[in-house]
Amino acid sequence: MTGAQFITYVEAKLNRLDSSAYQDIRPEEVLLYANDALKYLSLNFDLGTYSRSLDRGAILNYLASLTASAKDVNLTDNAVVLPKLLKMKDLSVFVTVGEGDTQETGWVSTRDLDNVKTFDRDENPFLHSYPDSPGYRLIDGKITFVANGFTCSKINYDYLKFPDQITEGSNLTYVFMKELEDHTVTLLLETLESRRIQSQPAVSKA
């Protein structure tokens, strides 16, 4: 199925619901929500959430095509800006503790820290960052390790890439085409109905 055919299928499903209400849907709108639907499904597949009617092996192959790794990425002041990614899957960091004869180094696992400040963060030892399990914050694509008394110099990580953009010329061979069509329709309907509500007079909304 091409992207153009996908648009026709989605428009047909919308017309089955109401042949007069959704005639003004533009192809670019369908593609916009199709790409959002594809990202949503990809994230859910990675969590193991998908219909039993779908072939598990095919889903795993699809996820494998999106999974990539980055090795020995250097940090500056315990931080680095990451490339655009859909989801961080696994992350380890190279830690250095001490100096001279007492220096210890090694790769360790990590844990993400809540970005919301709490009154007991300084007093609660469970919210601290330690050399054997450094805490990090990921904000606006930049990952920063909270490192007191040790340093973090480089990271290894596995991640999900963004799926290829769906365009009118795309050749779509996903095993989950029906799910992609249905979720695209759902996103379009949610948006269209929201627009209608927003455009109504305040009295009619009550």
pLDDT digits (tens, 9 = 90+) for 92-133: 999 999 998 999 999 999 998 876 555 555 666 666 789 999
Confidence of residue 15 (pLDDT cuts 50, 70, 90): confident
Cα 123 from Cα 143, distance rounded (Å): 24
Element (H, E) at 6: helix 3-17
pTM: 0.83
Task: Give Cα 85 distance to the centre of its chain.
Answer: 7
Cα 166 from Cα 52, distance rounded (Å): 25
Q: Please report the pLDDT score of residue 23 as a whole number.
A: 74
Q: pLDDT tens across 42-83, in order? A: 999 999 999 989 999 999 999 999 999 999 999 999 999 999
- Identity of the amino acid at 9: Y
Q: Please report the pLDDT score of residue 104 as a whole number.
A: 95
Length in residues, the chain: 206
Domain ranges of the chain: 3-64+162-205, 68-160
Q: pLDDT tens across 139-185, in order? A: 889 999 999 999 999 999 999 999 999 999 999 999 999 999 999 99
Cα torsion for 59, 60, 62, 65, to the nearest 10°?
Answer: 170
